[in-house]
Structure 1
């Protein structure tokens, strides 16, 4: 099995790196700082994107570095999951970079849902403007009043009433809800309680300006509102949309979710590996440039060994993630479930450890906004809960592993 980048990947990776070096890194600190100045509090209705973001998006689109995640050569660049993975890693070194290439979550997952499961009218209405970067989208799954680690606990409902669907319930940690361009949600809810537990739920496309939707608040994540994206709580009260907004059919929500989450976890994990590489780079530079007790920091307190451990851990998780991407491309998501769950556990844990080491070497500087390490730390810890906590994925790996021995 050869994970060497093919010529297509090498070309795109070189172009993404060059774009980041020329256009993104020189303004990275300025955009972070001024974004917080533009959006100082939790009043999401006044949040703004930084004025540099849109011109950067236009430059990326003009350079052919746009929608790199979608494996369709007509609508996007036609890259496979394995070909896209190292590009996601490079974008991950700067937390706002994926938006510049129109490769940001949760839009990528929602675009994949619409691409694979939407009908032609749904694609024209919502996929087209999403691919153009004209709007943003959100995904409503997690709920505040239940243990959402078990998605079958959902209390939100969708019912048929004539030619309409009626939606009720609460959703929270809805990423991107605060963005000024957020226009549509994919809402997952209980629809067929009489079916088996994985055929009881449906997904519905819901415009965010529909009557009955109330955005209650944006949620702080480790003390930060993450403006202008935001993680919000929204309530649905007798929200009515046409039946044509239903994705695939009633009771098909879990089947759609499985198709959505496989590639999405590759994207999350490769971006996380990019963060880890950046954190390791910062740790080494800091350790070599600062001295204490008569020696460079890198030679104190086992820091050299920690650098080695970080390199080993990063490379291990990268190979596991690339293997998962290879399996998705070659045998499909269902045959790659062990690897998809394994990377969702291994990569955020690795990122936590590497970032923590880098913060320790930076001392107090690692906790403030002068470096991206505090942002990386919050992202790593959050990712151990997003798309399912560690324990859920460990249970999946265990279940699949034990299944191998049932007939023996």
Structure 2
């Protein structure tokens, strides 16, 4: 994005023309790069999330709260490093970012490196500890999508160019589906959609793309029905979608269809949320999770633990914090002095909004059940570190705008 240095130069000279010699006395202070509202909101969210996570992992040997704390500390360090880094240096690295995405997402397929994450999904690698590259690729997908779309200067109205951009944005999704990890793939699509909308794509093109996407999903189910094969009397395996993926969608359409499987999980999630009442049962008193009725309580269904322990008031507090986070991020996006920076922030907002709506929605039966975690609340080392890195990216956009003479304001 070659215009970035020019934009910076325009602000630089305009600032000198307006303020003259006085601008020399307005040099940024040591901590001028900080964004107090962003740090306060993130601090409150992380603290609330750690409290709920600590309660959710009690008595579960599979999870380690100390590891979660360690990842928060690692995330804080990386957040500061990314915050201080000038994001504009990545604006012209579209091809390199695409290559990095492909390498990250496909790394679990490397023999001896990848490991099975359960249900047949190979999305983790072992490098001393288990790491999920697809989570870290969320950062590079945002940078890649913003870099690609920013090249069109905010006007993506040529149908051939639009199709080319959509095709390139689908590469990370297609790569992650080789694992397969549909939840992470949907997050990539949400990021791409947010960047396309804010990057100037015509509404007509976006609606046609959405319609084609829905048609493609219907086609996958239709073809899967033709390709299925019987493994035992009355039991079938499908070639395109895993059995559990089909089951989750059918449970969403008919919650009472499978009360011994995914339907049972949804029923228990609703019981947990409803039993919290107005003020909740209190910390460590979430009986649905402590008695083993609620599966994957610290990760996929952590919102149910929060709702059961802190009730409706606790849920409203969480949603208010998420609302404040989005509002602060939008203020940074509005203050961005170049399209690339604005698209980065909007990509992050798109990702967080989708994950919040999907995670809470699936626990309430309003969305299909997926493995999408809740930002800053769900247990997960890779996920927590990535969220801090994204905060650093937003801070980088805001702080470097301030340096160039345009500070983001609400």
Structure 2 length normalisation: TM-score?
A: 0.25
**TM-score after normalising by structure 1:** 0.25
Bigger proportion of residues as helix: 2
Larger RCO (alpha carbons 8 Å, 6+ apart)? 2
